[in-house]
Structure 1
């Protein structure tokens, strides 16, 4: 393989047609179904799929085919299927990305907008640029560069779903549909995560699971004057607070339910310590003046964010705005509870444990109702094969001139658990060009173009190494 041609081809793509087409993709408001209930009638997801399909087809990859698959009542899946090129490895490689987007989410900075692509200071701004439109171009671009440089690759299938931002509910149905067609999958490259800087190759090795539910506690059929009722009827907030204290220690912040806790694997703890020794820290957050983080120990903060369960109240019902609140003993309090679960926790078991804790022996016989309870498992990467370990070392030295870094992430991405169940013998490369400050899901989302080119080149080299592994 001519590595000079490989690098030049990647950089030419990202300076030319890939950037142009990705900019066109940004302009399409292809909201995920969770944010657009009439997505099918609006046609924006289909428009995004057809836009990207056009670019993929134009690459002219040897023997490649593109196909849009859509099961009844489900979002479309775009598939690029590229036959093996001089490979001795008969496994299939799956490269993953998604084409659905988050909504605008507030006001963007002057001159920027969610559906207005802007290139500024080496960044492409716009919704979907970094999460996750680039993945289609990086995956196909890596293959195009390999073929131009005389490189090798096994059969590679790029899967681009359109409901990831809604939790990927349709993806398992497509993985089942494609199981026989894909055959033995030996490598999964997921292009939808972030790292700690824009200087090295970052691999995600774990993601937390999630459980969430709506909890409502009712003590009255209707509100009453607080002067008449307080001291006679327990406040619904008092009851709900007692229920939550069964789950979370209000002082230490630790989750008390054993079903939600796990032992941190030694290799993950070693990764965290190595990352901290190399300067990695938990994400910087906009703390209010005087507020301290939960620990001054960087390792503890990362463990809290990646391998320990947490509870967050993300919404409330039954509480009027302060300006409208009168002297009323309210009939009910409702809270939206979001639990982040350790990567290896059984999410279904954890959810049942939470429900038992909230509904058994309720103080004062208050009425408890649980709605919209759901859970999804996290993901923990399998041990890294020797061929991949050595390849990552060489790729990092050649492309980034720095060691690669592995780290767990605090978010929940259900599709990784789906892939792990579908392809239990596969190696995983979970990476991406996003990093600090890139603003995925919030205003001013942007994509670091130089890092994207480096990640694309790294993926190409990994595919080349896999072809003879």
Structure 2
């Protein structure tokens, strides 16, 4: 399959068919269910799914089927099947994944831009969902048609496009179980919901951290009391919380102390971090705005990468029971709640981590105070298997001048750990069009169109290489 034929097909398809439809997709306020309690009534998620379904039906090869699958109580899922080409010698299925739900709009977009206002400026398409992850179904199907247009072969392909990824993929295990027979023997999984540090090369995600979130509440009184009466007699609930937090994290170093939340770092991932640090010495600092004089948690870039991708971390992301400072009176409050958010190493069992958190914070509480854990959410991380030789070769097909780069991500994609368990023998390619400057999840989100085209081309070469494997 000749690289220039693939390139010309992808370029034409993006200009003529992809961008007009993707711009219309951006204009749909399809906010993920976790951020829109009325998502069913509003119907925006369903509109987004139907919009993409119409485009796939109009552009898929003959013999393809496209269906909206909907289980009770969870967002719909778009499922498409594309038959193998006659000359494909492989007999497995290639599963291509993306999601159609979006982050909330957020304030602070630049003049002339807005979350539901698709704006094309040069090689950039602005708008919520452009890069996360609305481009994915368009890139996936265009990669398939590029293989055919360039005379290549591909195995049976299925597109799985969910509408709840930004909410932790509720119902996705049920969908996978429901579709298990139709998915078949999956031998290649390609996820287009990731990215990397620049637009010069293909970035391949090798690991994703898990997550553990919970609300820890400490109560010391049945009701609040004037601080002049109670202070020195009853410890404040915040003081007890501080003591409990010290059981979880070393306040000086940030090291998470619970063994169940730690895991050894494979030497290969340490080497990946060192190579990435040499390539981009300040990659972890680039998207951050430290205050004047502020310093990062580690001076060495490789250590910062490992902190962000393999070591457990704790962030306090919310609080309750604390009045605004302008309204805070002389009161010893009855209770304080903190929302704890742990990022877990890719190989840690999240259920074991959750059990350890509850045990350590609710047992032998200082001063006999009441400590409870509520709203607990735990998800495992994911670590990719070593890529087979055919996949490594396909990634160096000449689409990018610079060689591809492995990296780990500090966040998670629930779909990957589900698929990793379901298809342990499959090859995995987790990549995407997100770059360090893409503004994913924040104002001024944008898609780098030439880079997205190159990602599309690479997926086409991977599909063609996969078709030759048995």
TM-score, normalised by the number of residues in structure 1: 0.98
For residues 121 and 339 of structure 1, what CA distance do their matches in structure 2 show? 40
Q: 1:313 aligns with which of 309, 313, 316?
A: 316
For residues 63 and 152 of structure 2, what CA distance do their matches in structure 1 show? 15
How far residue 16 of structure 1 moved from its aligned partner, in angstroms, is 2.2
Contact 2:89–2:467 (CA under 8 A) maintained in structure 1:
yes
User: SS where residue 140 of structure 2 aligns?
Assistant: helix
Correspondences of 1:84-99 after superposition (within 5 Å): 84-85=84-85, 86-99=87-100
How far residue 277 of structure 1 moved from its aligned partner, in angstroms, is 2.2
1:325 maps to 2:328? yes
CA displacement 1:399-423 (0-9 Å, x = unmatched): 1111100000001221110110111
| Counterpart residue number, 2:450 | 450
Correspondences of 1:17-416 after superposition (within 5 Å): 17-85=17-85, 86-279=87-280, 281-284=283-286, 285-392=288-395, 394-395=396-397, 398-416=398-416
For residues 16 and 109 of structure 1, what CA distance do their matches in structure 2 show? 28
| Counterpart residue number, 1:6 | 6
- In the alignment of these two chains, the number of paired residues is 466
Contact 2:220–2:236 (CA under 8 A) maintained in structure 1:
yes
How far residue 168 of structure 1 moved from its aligned partner, in angstroms, is 0.5
Structure 1, unpaired ranges of 5+: none
For residues 310 and 60 of structure 1, what CA distance do their matches in structure 2 show? 44
Contact 2:60–2:141 (CA under 8 A) maintained in structure 1:
no
User: SS where residue 97 of structure 1 aligns?
Assistant: strand
How far residue 179 of structure 1 moved from its aligned partner, in angstroms, is 1.2
Contact 1:283–1:436 (CA under 8 A) maintained in structure 2:
no
How far residue 149 of structure 1 moved from its aligned partner, in angstroms, is 1.4
1:431 maps to 2:431? yes
User: SS where residue 16 of structure 1 aligns?
Assistant: helix
For residues 228 and 38 of structure 2, what CA distance do their matches in structure 1 show? 48
CA displacement 1:173-197 (0-9 Å, x = unmatched): 1111111122110000000012010
For residues 294 and 152 of structure 1, what CA distance do their matches in structure 2 show? 49
CA displacement 1:229-276 (0-9 Å, x = unmatched): 100000100000000100101111101100111100111111111222
For residues 390 and 416 of structure 2, what CA distance do their matches in structure 1 show? 22
For residues 293 and 73 of structure 1, what CA distance do their matches in structure 2 show? 43
User: SS where residue 147 of structure 2 aligns?
Assistant: helix
How far residue 283 of structure 1 moved from its aligned partner, in angstroms, is 4.2
CA displacement 1:250-309 (0-9 Å, x = unmatched): 111101100111100111111111222223532421111100001111110000000000
Contact 2:131–2:445 (CA under 8 A) maintained in structure 1:
yes
Contact 2:394–2:458 (CA under 8 A) maintained in structure 1:
no
For residues 136 and 425 of structure 1, what CA distance do their matches in structure 2 show? 24
How far residue 333 of structure 1 moved from its aligned partner, in angstroms, is 0.8
For residues 216 and 69 of structure 2, what CA distance do their matches in structure 1 show? 38
Deviates more, 1:381-390 or 1:136-145: 381-390
How far residue 73 of structure 1 moved from its aligned partner, in angstroms, is 2.2
How far residue 348 of structure 1 moved from its aligned partner, in angstroms, is 0.4
For residues 440 and 3 of structure 1, what CA distance do their matches in structure 2 show? 30
For residues 73 and 407 of structure 2, what CA distance do their matches in structure 1 show? 37
User: SS where residue 430 of structure 2 aligns?
Assistant: strand
CA displacement 1:116-139 (0-9 Å, x = unmatched): 000113111001111100000000
For residues 211 and 121 of structure 1, what CA distance do their matches in structure 2 show? 41
User: SS where residue 399 of structure 2 aligns?
Assistant: helix
Contact 1:82–1:156 (CA under 8 A) maintained in structure 2:
yes
